[in-house]
Amino acid sequence: MIAVTFLLILNNLGLTFSKYINLNFNLKIVNVEIIKNLRNSVFFLILNCIPTSIRWTIIVLLVNGPL
């Protein structure tokens, strides 16, 4: 849980930083980065709620593809 909280704090810092980058760079690029960051946070949050054994099964399936 601590790791996820840390990731979310980092993500929020990233979003704040993106707003400043936005002044210098194309809005579209920054928006894509924000969406990627949000997706990653949600993914980690969901993974953290799943028991470890099931979590590893899902990761293995994602990496290898369903065999």
pTM for this model (two decimals)? 0.25
**What would the two tokens of residue 13 be?**
């810092």
Give the pLDDT of residue 42: 74
| pLDDT at 18 > cutoff 60 | no
More confident: 7 or 51: 51
Average pLDDT over residues 31-40: 72
Fill in the amino acid letter for 14.
G
- DSSP category for residue 34: H
pLDDT, position 62: 74
User: Are the C-beta atoms of 23 and 8 separated by less than 8 Å?
Assistant: no
Closest C-alpha among 45, 48, 43 to residue 62: 43
Stronger pLDDT, 61 or 10, i.e. the higher one = 61
Q: Which amino acid, one-letter code, is at 1? A: M
pLDDT of 60 strictly over 70: yes
